[in-house]
Amino acid sequence: MSLKSILKISQADNVAIAVNLEGIPEGMWIIDGLISLEQVPMGHKITLEDIPQGGPVIRYGYTIGIARTPISAGSWVQEHLLEIPEAPALDEIPYHPVNWQVPEKLEGYTFEGYRNPDGTVGTKNILGISMSVQCVAGMANYVIDKIKKELLPLYPNVDDVIALSHHYGCGVAINAPAAAIPIRTIHNLARNPNLGGEIMVLGLGCEKLRPETITGQDAGNILYMQDESFTGFHEMVDAVLETAKIHLSKLNARRRETCPVADLVVGMQCGGSDAFSGLTGNPVAGYAADLIVRAGGTVFFSEVTEVRDAIGQLVARAADAEVAQKLVTAMKWYDDYLQNGLADRTANTTPGNKIGGLSNIVEKALGSVVKSGTMPIVDVVAPGERVKKKGLQFVSTPASDFVCGTLQLAAGMNLHVFITGRGTPYGLTMVPVIKISSNSKLANRWHDLIDFDAGLVATGEKTIEELGWSLFHDMLEVASGRRKVATDILGIYNDLVLFNPGPLT
Amino acid sequence: MSLKSILKISQADNVAIAVNLEGIPEGMWIIDGLISLEQVPMGHKITLEDIPQGGPVIRYGYTIGIARTPISAGSWVQEHLLEIPEAPALDEIPYHPVNWQVPEKLEGYTFEGYRNPDGTVGTKNILGISMSVQCVAGMANYVIDKIKKELLPLYPNVDDVIALSHHYGCGVAINAPAAAIPIRTIHNLARNPNLGGEIMVLGLGCEKLRPETITGQDAGNILYMQDESFTGFHEMVDAVLETAKIHLSKLNARRRETCPVADLVVGMQCGGSDAFSGLTGNPVAGYAADLIVRAGGTVFFSEVTEVRDAIGQLVARAADAEVAQKLVTAMKWYDDYLQNGLADRTANTTPGNKIGGLSNIVEKALGSVVKSGTMPIVDVVAPGERVKKKGLQFVSTPASDFVCGTLQLAAGMNLHVFITGRGTPYGLTMVPVIKISSNSKLANRWHDLIDFDAGLVATGEKTIEELGWSLFHDMLEVASGRRKVATDILGIYNDLVLFNPGPLT
């Protein structure tokens, strides 16, 4: 039996992960002096030494749980054997400014993108039709069908036309403090680099969210259904089509040009995670994230509840004291938000996470942050805001896949990397989503839904470094439009989903 | 000048509404001893007598505002002249059991509907594909396109196939107290009478909301994308199509049969209201609501913030003390919910409401409750729950159009009446929505989006009674499938939008 039946991350760990497809059977010799006492499913943890009652269970070098009973070496560490540790107190996290060793700059890597007037670069060329309120969504869908059939064939350089549909805009407490989040998200979604700065808004007329909030200081066209000059629905539709033509013409004139990696804005996210995510997919994504940052690009990671327990690590990586403070503030806000709803961080971890071997949110978070790589964190971006810097950043969002993705789009993402262990068909219309499987079993079964198999790390066939470089190259291919991701081939996409912590009226 | 330049509702009112299209010009003789001092736009209020500073401004017989300055007779009552009164205190509302004079029963009215095994009756015949989580929405849309193209033509008695799409299911605090609302809503949406009891659920596998929650005690088919027997996306799609065929066959065998009005479940809602809504559209809808109830049917109204200020009237109409208490409890819950989000009832009223002449939420609420008619309120239904009784009921929902509509669908609505003054293209796939305009100006302009013009009441061309009966007859035609509503002709629909007061994770 090769050593590869288990994977141990940190020297201090007293548990390791069963990495073979069939798991570990009872009575197997694991390493010198360790025989499995029971069957351990793939992705689950086996104890490497006896752990006394009350003793720490250590993975990633951190305590992920306290043993409720003594656990003998060679046992399956089932969820019910662990007490979850307290969340790290946010007021006591020390920040020591670090002299970051500047890693070797990566030069010479480029991709083919659409350069925008505001300096951002698109990886697709899409007409996005914004809306101020859900009331007009039916009309938007009607119009988009018509544009796809009648207009899009006349503008062959335009990839798609999409509705920036949402459930906000009226029937909400628009002046509640929390309303700022959905409002700025809608505003910034219209500015995603892949929409080329062509802002077009459908409004109703009587809604609380004023369409001018979406156009803001920028040029754009607003059409109101309640405009008294329209007699009937079809006149409105015709007016929308005429306006769409103006924007389609401009988008159609765009051409890809060679851009440095510094123009990439990569959003990292994981969903449907398993215990492999932290061993394979996330480290590979983290390695590629470092490469992007070294090449001058932007990477962000998100999902507050999935980094909350690793806040100590994040603060230690903050580029300066202000960023350290912003990280803590973001965690505090979310702690309060959850408490306000009579929940806490343990509401994260799904049934699938647990079946996949993740015992609790601590273990999940420690594996989750790995996808951020190792670079300094240069900024923290509030939900719905747009990034202002280059380099690695934390974009503060819920962990909900579609909400996180939507907020990352608003932050200016032009390429998405999504790591999954259990498997999700997650896709976004606005940017390509590279889907990475943490294990080869899923990659094989979901051959047409997964873009990249990181499971080869677990079996030892590939190293993290090899796959990290491979992912980096894939990212440039996808960003250049030379390679299509699975969801773009199939045309399956999730909704945009806003984060609205404020009340409905 | 005819008396019809203004409309006054209650004898006690010291303001009236300008009902002519062009409003009231300055210097017009209104009634004996009253000349307009300034221009008053259509739908806005004119003072009928001098109101001192601190004096009440009275409409519908209730104080809708306190004068901030003296307002002379003949003035335009602009919003800024009014102080909003305190909301009625909920602990001090007396309940006096009333001996309701049982109104004459209406006999002999029927419609043609699809009778379901559970006793409910459908007004459409639709295959609804439920889902446990947004993750599978892309797949659901893909599959529905395929069913529409390849299967639906083979089942000509089936009207449509729709996704019961939502943004819930994972990334949420599924055990938070408030999670009960979205969960039971998803459960009950699948039971809407128009879906014929054919429950079919797409699940992922790892999500927090278990698909079995949707099927519950009822028969149904669940398919999981993560089912390890599926190799690839197209195998999953094929499995979904095979399952859909089973349900389509059963739905295709359904036939309309003659049903009493007692089988109608009518949801009343208004949106984009103006000052006419309470004068024309809502009274007409209320008259028809009384007819439905007199014929043994079910009517409900909703929108907590739009009835909150009329709670005294509602309690007085409660069929018993328990219902009275339930009404007060529903209002209290919402007061707390808004306060928790640092908002209050004044977050309702939109810019459009105000341009339309509604000064504040008090005036809006007093006009809003009119659509409930005059019958006793026999039950209060919590958000996401299904009605259990017949007769007039209050289904507790936010006032947001799409959220209210979604919760009314979950409550078992099979016919929707929607009154608008400013105009909204609101439509639902699941049930026909009869859209009533409160003024003829809108009905004329939106000739293909409005189903019923109640504006004729304002001009005196028709009485509330005449139009109430006319609406009642239209409702039976639409419920029978003999007449199509505007949104069904155009095919424009809003999203289902859940009410989730709980936190995301």
Structure confidence by residue, pLDDT tens digits, B351-403: 999 999 999 999 999 999 999 999 999 999 999 999 999 999 999 999 999 99
A302-356 pLDDT per residue, tens: 999 999 999 999 999 999 999 999 999 999 999 999 999 999 999 999 999 999 9
Q: Are residues B212 and B338 part of one domain?
A: no
For the entire predicted model, the pTM comes to 0.96
Q: Are residues B284 and B184 part of one domain?
A: no
Considering only CA atoms, which of A454, A468, A34, A487 is closest in space to residue A278?
Answer: A454
Residues near B305 by Cβ (< 8 Å), separated by ≥ 6?
A505, B334, B338, B345, B347, B348, B361, B365, B398, B399
- Asked whether B202 and B225 are in contact (CB, 8 A), the reply is yes
Q: Are residues A396 and A320 part of one domain?
A: yes
Q: Are residues B268 and B238 part of one domain?
A: no
Q: Which residue of A lies nearest to B231 if distances are taken between CA atoms?
A: A445
Domain boundary among B252, B286, B317: B252
Task: Give the Cα separation of B173 and B181 in Å (integer).
Answer: 12
Does residue A259 fall inside a structural domain? no
Given an 8 Å threshold on Cβ–Cβ distance, is B206 in contact with A350?
yes
Query: DSSP assignment, residue B119?
Result: S
Hey, what are A47's tokens? Answer: 């104890």
Given an 8 Å threshold on Cβ–Cβ distance, is B138 in contact with A272?
no
- Asked whether B472 and B261 are in contact (CB, 8 A), the reply is no
Residue B3 has pLDDT above 70, yes or no: no
- Residue-number span of the structural domain to which B138 is assigned: 112-252
- Which chain B positions have a beta carbon within 8 Å of A87's beta carbon? none
Residue A3 has pLDDT above 50, yes or no: no
- Which chain A positions have a beta carbon within 8 Å of B174's beta carbon? 347
CA of A21, closest CA in chain B: separation in Å?
Answer: 13
- Which chain A positions have a beta carbon within 8 Å of B204's beta carbon? 272, 352, 422-425
Domain boundary among A86, A121, A144: A86
Lowest mean pLDDT among A83-87, A274-278, A288-292: A274-278
Task: Give DSSP secondary structure letters for A6-34.
Answer: EE--STT-SEEEE-STT-B-TT-EEETTE
Does residue B473 fall inside a structural domain? yes
Task: Give DSSP secondary structure letters for A302-351.
Answer: --GGGTGGGHHHHHHTBSSHHHHHHHHHHHHHHHHHHHHTT--GGG---H
A135-147 pLDDT per residue, tens: 999 999 999 999 9
Give residue B33's pLDDT.
Answer: 86
Lowest mean pLDDT among B6-10, B53-57, B285-289, B452-456: B6-10
Given an 8 Å threshold on Cβ–Cβ distance, is B135 in contact with A271?
yes
C-alpha distances in Å from residue B63, one per residue of A228, B45, B55? 33, 14, 9
- Percent of chain B past pLDDT 90, that is, above it, reads 92
- Which chain A positions have a beta carbon within 8 Å of B447's beta carbon? 231-232
Residues pairing with A121 in the sheet: A115
- b/e map A173-185, b = 16+ CB within 10 Å: bbebebbbbbbbb
Q: Are residues A325 and A429 part of one domain?
A: yes
Given an 8 Å threshold on Cβ–Cβ distance, is A173 in contact with B499?
no
Give residue B493's pLDDT.
Answer: 98
* Residue tagged 């307009």 (tokens): B36
- Which chain A positions have a beta carbon within 8 Å of B178's beta carbon? 341-342
Task: Give the Cα separation of B250 and B245 in Å (integer).
Answer: 9
* Average pLDDT for chain B: 95
**Residue B31: band (very low, low, confident or very high) from pLDDT cuts 50, 70, 90:** confident
Q: Are residues B354 and B226 part of one domain?
A: no
Hey, what are B437's tokens? Answer: 């305009």
Given an 8 Å threshold on Cβ–Cβ distance, is A170 in contact with B345?
no
Does residue B289 fall inside a structural domain? yes
Query: DSSP assignment, residue B190?
Result: T
B55: exposed, middle or buried (C-beta count within 10 Å: 0-12, 13-18, 19+)?
middle
Given an 8 Å threshold on Cβ–Cβ distance, is B345 in contact with A505?
yes
Q: Which residue of B lies nearest to A496 if distances are taken between CA atoms?
A: B167
Given an 8 Å threshold on Cβ–Cβ distance, is B503 in contact with A347?
yes
B132-176 pLDDT per residue, tens: 999 999 999 999 999 999 999 999 999 999 999 999 999 999 999
Given an 8 Å threshold on Cβ–Cβ distance, is B206 in contact with A353?
yes
Does residue B105 fall inside a structural domain? no
How many domains does the structure of chain B reveal?
A: 3
- Asked whether A446 and B232 are in contact (CB, 8 A), the reply is yes
A101-130 pLDDT per residue, tens: 778 899 999 999 999 999 999 999 999 999
Task: Give the Cα separation of B9 and B276 in Å (integer).
Answer: 11
Q: How, if at all, do strands B6-7 and B15-18 pair?
A: antiparallel
Give residue B100's pLDDT.
Answer: 77
Amino acid at B233: F
CA of B202, closest CA in chain A: separation in Å?
Answer: 13
Task: Give the Cα separation of A48 and A34 in Å (integer).
Answer: 7
Domain boundary among B227, B252, B277: B252
Considering only CA atoms, which of A388, A397, A374 is closest in space to residue A319?
Answer: A374
**Residue B277: band (very low, low, confident or very high) from pLDDT cuts 50, 70, 90:** very high
Q: Are residues A223 and A166 part of one domain?
A: yes
Does residue B501 fall inside a structural domain? no
Task: Give the Cα separation of B336 and B334 in Å (integer).
Answer: 5
Given an 8 Å threshold on Cβ–Cβ distance, is B135 in contact with A172?
no
- Which chain A positions have a beta carbon within 8 Å of B350's beta carbon? 170, 206-208
Q: Are residues B238 and B319 part of one domain?
A: no
**Secondary-structure breakdown of chain A: helix, strand, coil percentages, each rounded to the nearest 5:** 35, 20, 45
CA of B94, closest CA in chain A: separation in Å?
Answer: 26
Hey, what are B18's tokens? Answer: 């300008």
Q: Are residues A350 and A290 part of one domain?
A: yes
* Average pLDDT for chain A: 95
Task: Give the Cα separation of A377 and A318 in Å (integer).
Answer: 5
Question: What are the backbone dihedrals phi and psi of residue B406, each rounded to the nearest 5 degrees, phi first?
Answer: -65, -45
Give ∠ CA B226-B230-B233 in degrees, rounded to 5: 85
CA of B334, closest CA in chain A: separation in Å?
Answer: 9
Task: Give the Cα separation of A115 and A417 in Å (integer).
Answer: 21
pLDDT average, residue stretch A448-465: 94
Q: Are residues A404 and A321 part of one domain?
A: yes
Considering only CA atoms, which of B487, B242, B264 is closest in space to residue B387?
Answer: B264
- Which chain B positions have a beta carbon within 8 Å of A352's beta carbon? 204-207, 226
**Residue B2: band (very low, low, confident or very high) from pLDDT cuts 50, 70, 90:** very low
Q: How, if at all, do strands A82-83 and A62-67 pair?
A: antiparallel
Give the dihedral sign, CA B321/B325/B328/B330.
negative
CA of A459, closest CA in chain B: separation in Å?
Answer: 21
Longest dimension (CA), chain A: 84
Between A233-252 and A137-146, two packed helices, what is the crossing angle to 10 degrees?
60
Hey, what are A348's tokens? Answer: 């994260």
Given an 8 Å threshold on Cβ–Cβ distance, is A205 in contact with B502?
no
Residues near A153 by Cβ (< 8 Å), separated by ≥ 6?
none
Does residue A505 fall inside a structural domain? no
- b/e map A398-407, b = 16+ CB within 10 Å: bbbbbbbbbb
Q: How, if at all, do strands A298-301 and A377-381 pair?
A: unpaired
Given an 8 Å threshold on Cβ–Cβ distance, is A206 in contact with B352?
yes
- Which chain A positions have a beta carbon within 8 Å of B165's beta carbon? 495
Q: Are residues B357 and B228 part of one domain?
A: no
- The enclosing domain of A25 has a CATH number of 2.30.130.110
Residue B211 has pLDDT above 80, yes or no: yes
Considering only CA atoms, which of B242, B271, B296 is closest in space to residue B402?
Answer: B271
- Which chain B positions have a beta carbon within 8 Å of A399's beta carbon? 171, 504-505
Given an 8 Å threshold on Cβ–Cβ distance, is A347 in contact with B505?
yes
Residues near A165 by Cβ (< 8 Å), separated by ≥ 6?
A131, A134, A137, A140, A141, A495, A496, B495
pLDDT average, residue stretch A191-211: 97
C-alpha distances in Å from residue A24, one per residue of A1, A49, A460? 11, 16, 17
- Which chain B positions have a beta carbon within 8 Å of A337's beta carbon? 503
Given an 8 Å threshold on Cβ–Cβ distance, is A501 in contact with B503?
yes
- Asked whether A389 and A250 are in contact (CB, 8 A), the reply is no
CA of B49, closest CA in chain A: separation in Å?
Answer: 31
What ipTM score was computed for the predicted complex, to two decimals?
0.95
Hey, what are A237's tokens? Answer: 């539709």
Give residue A275's pLDDT.
Answer: 86
- The enclosing domain of B176 has a CATH number of 3.40.50
Does residue A500 fall inside a structural domain? no
**Residue A22: band (very low, low, confident or very high) from pLDDT cuts 50, 70, 90:** confident
Task: Give the Cα separation of B202 and B131 in Å (integer).
Answer: 5
Given an 8 Å threshold on Cβ–Cβ distance, is B448 in contact with A234?
yes
Q: Are residues A273 and A192 part of one domain?
A: no
**Residue B339: band (very low, low, confident or very high) from pLDDT cuts 50, 70, 90:** very high
Does residue A80 fall inside a structural domain? yes
Radius of gyration of chain A (CA): 24
A42-74 pLDDT per residue, tens: 999 999 999 999 999 999 999 999 999 999 999
